Structure 1
Amino acid sequence: METTLHIASLLVHCRPELFEAVKANMRLLPDLELHQESPAGKVVVVLEAEHESRILQTIDHIQQIPGVLNAALIYHELLPSEGAQQ
């Protein structure tokens, strides 16, 4: 069975005074990496998942973390499995 890998990038905007706590909470989520950040409370997040629904669930979860003002999807790509023909 052919599988694909979903790669998504988000921009998460947080209240600056809760920024460290928000990042600590996001680090607990599976298949999530934190990248560039701004002292104004913004961080770029990269997610990997086999199903698009998992990406959407993770975005919903992030938006519910106390201190998060917004989590916006800015990039989404589907990568075929390594054994798939192109």
Structure 2
Amino acid sequence: MTDNINTPTDEYHVASLVAYCMQDQIGEVTQAINAIEGAEIHATSVEGKIVLTLEGDSHKTIGKRMDQLRIHQGLINLSPVYHQVLDEGQ
């Protein structure tokens, strides 16, 4: 079995997620999301719900970016909704 962690791929991954954070930390959580490469916020609510997408070149990249968010103390829950993979080499 080979380890292809550093091997570039022709894949393009996009995942949509719903984050739920503490109402008094919406600003901090949105800043944390915006600081992640390939992250984009599409909607927020005053109740603390945030709809976002993550883009990357592999499942592993998406997972790492999700892990970066999960450790934020203001985040209560992070739920994946959709994940699409496109082969840009075709």
Q: TM-score if structure 1 supplies the norm length?
A: 0.90
Residues 2 and 68 of structure 1: CA distance in aligned 2, closer, same or farther (over 3 Å): closer
Measured against aligned partners, the alpha-carbon deviations of 1:19-62 in whole angstroms (never above 9, x if no partner) come to 11110111111010001111100101101100100111111111
1:14 to 18, 21, 32: 21
Where structure 1 has 5 or more consecutive residues not aligned to the other structure, the ranges are: none
In the alignment, is residue 65 of structure 1 matched against residue 72 of structure 2? yes
Q: Report 1:7-86 matches (<5 A).
A: 7-81=14-88, 83-84=89-90
RMSD across aligned positions (CA): 1.4
Q: Is the contact made by 2:17 and 2:80 (CA closer than 8 Å) also made in structure 1?
A: yes
2:75 and 2:9 map into 1 onto residues whose CA distance is 36
> What percent identity do the matched residue pairs reach?
27
Where structure 2 has 5 or more consecutive residues not aligned to the other structure, the ranges are: 1-7
Paired residues in the alignment total: 83
2:9 and 2:18 map into 1 onto residues whose CA distance is 30
Extract structure 1 runs of 4+ deviating beyond 6 A.
none
Q: 3-state DSSP class of the match of 1:53?
A: helix
2:87 and 2:44 map into 1 onto residues whose CA distance is 30
